[in-house]
Amino acid sequence: MQAFLYEPWPWYVAGPLIGLMVPLLLLLANKQFGISSSLRHMCAACAPLKIPFFHYNWKAERWNLVFVVGILLGGTLASFFISSTEPVQITEETTAQLQALGVVEFNGLVPTDIFSWNNLLTFQGIILMVVGGFLVGFGARYAGGCTSGHAIMGLSYLQWPSLVAVIGFFIGGLTATYFILPLLF
């Protein structure tokens, strides 16, 4: 049983488990799955300003904040108690493509040439983390939800805007991978 927790779960197990969150939340609590709205709830709770966007009954969405705390707590506990000492396996093709860009140092799955405290204050680090983070946040707000909300919840409801958003997420990811990342390295 313990080995099962230390290994990555296959897509055909993890995917349905994530997908079952949609009907579970809907049937048990009449709630929708999504994470990006929790930032709005935190801002409304912690900074009760007179900004109309943050002026609403955030207490009705406390469950979402508890859900986010559970994600953070679960990830922290898992990293301390059931994380594997083996590096995460990525394909040789991906490794070769990253090495061709000059990304050669890895810490598990994370390429430390890109994501490290030392690299944060470089031009590449600022572009990747600060500008990239801003674009992700702006995109989630502009699209009316994050990737998990649109791809899991919106598509299960057969919502046209979610399909457009998910297609946009993929186009953005492919554009960043094949055109922007090579320019930065």
pLDDT in tens, 117-128: 887 788 888 888
22: in domain: yes
pLDDT at residue 60 tops 60: yes
Residue 146 domain boundaries: 114-185
Are residues 147 and 74 both part of a single domain? no
Number of domains in the chain: 2
Are residues 28 and 71 both part of a single domain? yes
Query: What pLDDT was estimated at residue 30?
Result: 84
92: in domain: no
Are residues 119 and 180 both part of a single domain? yes
2: in domain: yes
Are residues 78 and 37 both part of a single domain? yes
Query: What pLDDT was estimated at residue 174?
Result: 92
pLDDT at residue 95 tops 90: no
Lowest mean pLDDT among 63-67, 70-74, 111-115, 136-140: 111-115
Are residues 65 and 143 both part of a single domain? no
CB–CB of 66/89 below 8 Å? no
167, 138, 35, 164 alpha-carbon torsion, rounded to 10°: -20
91: in domain: no
Query: What pLDDT was estimated at residue 108?
Result: 64
Question: How confident is the prediction for the chain on average, in pLDDT?
Answer: 82
107: in domain: no
DSSP letters spanning 119-154:
HHTSHHHIIIIIIHHHHHHHHHHHHTS-HHIIIIII
Question: What is the Cα–Cα distance from 181 to 128, expressed in whole angstroms?
Answer: 9
CB–CB of 151/161 below 8 Å? no
Strand partners for 110: 107
Query: What pLDDT was estimated at residue 177?
Result: 83
97: in domain: no
